[in-house]
Amino acid sequence: MNRRWIPRLLGLVIPFLAWEVASRTGLMHPVFLPPFSTVLWQVVTLPGEVWPDFLSTGFEIVVSLLLTGFSGVVIGVVLAQSEKLDALLGALMWFFYAAPLVVFTTFFIVTLGVGPGVPICLGIMSGIVFVIASTRDGVREVGKDLVNVGRVFGANPLELALRIVVPAAVPMIMAGLRIGVGRVLVGVIVGEFFASGGGLGYLIVRYGNELDMARVYAAVAWIVFTSILLNTGFARIERSFVTWRPV
């Protein structure tokens, strides 16, 4: 236990110390790399200064995640119904998965205008493929027996989807969301970065233009916190859903 914590602690302390020293001694230009302690202070004070930007990033992430989850599940369930439809849309989906997301930025800015729409759309676009694919696979794996249970006891197609198929696929859907959530965040930040309305991504650009680098790093730090929070949060939610899996 102790053995592992010593290198871990050193691994955190040394880089930050080196940062502080490099900046204080002028080895790195302090305008471009302000001392770590200054940045740390900005990390603490930033939320108080620009809370509307924190709110708008949070809002965009939440909306983006909800829409990604909802439409991803719907599309995934539909694709699971038919091999042919899946093949027909497969290449198109793969194209949007593999294409670098940023190329669509300008397109969204031109069509939607500057504002929260761009980050939300980019977030959905970058995360949804994972939810679709994993929902589709999850639904395909739902046992014929469970589907037959629904059919026998009078479920119409919608009830079959809502009460049997989708709940049975929830562990897979959650796995898709867990992978997708990181990408949703990237999409949102890219959107804010270019469609300069507000939010953490926008702050980076704005402070960058003002050469206020301490605040740039503080905003980056908050994005990293958000990312870690979302990842661990979803990993935990996913695990809590899996508890009823073994029967």
Partner 1 sequence: MSNKGSRRVGRLLLGAGGLVGFLALWQLLVSVGLVDRGLIGSPIGAYQEGGRLFDEGKIWADIAVTFRTLGIGLALSLLVGAPLSVILGRWRAGWNAVELPLLMLNATPTVALVIPIIMIIGIGPNSKVALAFIGAVIPVLVSGRAGAAAVPDAYLRAARVYGASRLDIFLKVVLPHSLLAVLSGTRLGVGRALTAVLVGEMYATQRGLGLWISRGQNGMNADLLAFITLFVAAAGACLIGAVNLLDRSFAGWRTP
Partner 2 sequence: MARIAVDRVSMAFETDNEHRFVLKDLSLDIADGEFLTIVGLSGCGKTTLLNLIAGLLTPTSGAITVDGKPVTGPGPARAVVFQDASLLPWRSVLRNVELGVEMQKRYGKEEIRERALAHLETVGLPDFANAYPHQLSGGMRQRVNLARALIAEPDVLLMDEPFAALDAHTRESMGYELQRIWAESRKTVIFITHSADEAVTLSDRIVVMGRPPNGIIANLDVGLPRPRSMEVRGLPRFAELSLEIRELLSKAGARS
**Residue ranges in contact with partner 1 by CB under 8 A:** 3-4, 7-8, 10-12, 15, 28, 32-33, 84, 87-92, 94-96, 98-107, 109-111, 182, 185-186, 189-190, 193-194, 201, 204-205, 208, 211, 213, 216-217, 219-220, 223-224, 227-228, 231
CB of 108 to partner 1, least distance (A): 10
* Calpha distance 157→140 (Å, rounded): 15
The Cα–Cα gap between 133 and 108 comes to 24
* Residue 108 contacts which entry, partner 1, partner 2, none (Cβ below 5-8 A, type-dependent): none
* Cα–Cα distance for residue pair 216/171, rounded to 1 Å: 38
Please choose which of partner 1, partner 2, none residue 194 contacts, taking the beta carbon within 5 to 8 angstroms, the exact cut-off set by kind.
Answer: partner 1
Question: In the complex, which residues of this chain contact partner 2 (CB under 8 A)?
Answer: 143, 145-146, 148-149, 151-156, 159, 163-164, 167-168, 170, 244-247
Neighbours of 247 (CB within 10 A): 3
Residue 191 CB, nearest distance to partner 2 (Å)? 35
145 binds, among partner 2, partner 1, none (CB under 5 to 8 A by kind): partner 2
**Rounded Cα–Cα distance for residues 56 and 59 (Å):** 5
| CA 117-123-124 angle, 5° bins | 90
The least distance separating partner 1 from the CB of residue 145, rounded to whole angstroms, comes to 26
Q: Which is nearer to partner 2, 168 or 204 (CB)?
A: 168
Question: Smaller CB distance to partner 1: residue 91 or 152?
Answer: 91
How far apart CA 237 and CA 176 sit, in angstroms, is 12
CB 93 to partner 2: min, Å: 28
DSSP state of 246: -
Question: What is the DSSP secondary structure assignment for residue 32, as one 8-state letter?
Answer: T
Q: Report the partner that residue 149 touches, choosing among partner 1, partner 2, none (CB closer than 5 to 8 A by kind).
A: partner 2
Say which entry of partner 1, partner 2, none residue 246 contacts (CB below 5 to 8 A, set by partner kind): partner 2
d(CA 129, CA 125): 8
Considering the complex, state which of residue 52 and residue 157 has its C-beta at the smaller distance from partner 2.
157
Contact of residue 152 among partner 2, partner 1, none (CB under 5-8 Å per partner type): partner 2
Quick one: which of 177, 74, 77 has its CA closest to 127? Answer: 177
Question: How many CB atoms are closer than 10 A to CB 137?
Answer: 17
Least Å from the CB of residue 67 to partner 1 = 19
Residue with the two structure tokens 């049975």:
168
Q: Which two tokens stand for residue 239?
A: 């695990």
SS3 of residue 142 by DSSP: coil
Cβ proximity to partner 2: between 155 and 230 the closer is: 155
Are the C-beta atoms of 30 and 10 separated by less than 8 Å? no
Select from partner 2, partner 1, none the partner in contact with residue 213, using the beta carbon and a kind-dependent cut-off of 5 to 8 Å: partner 1
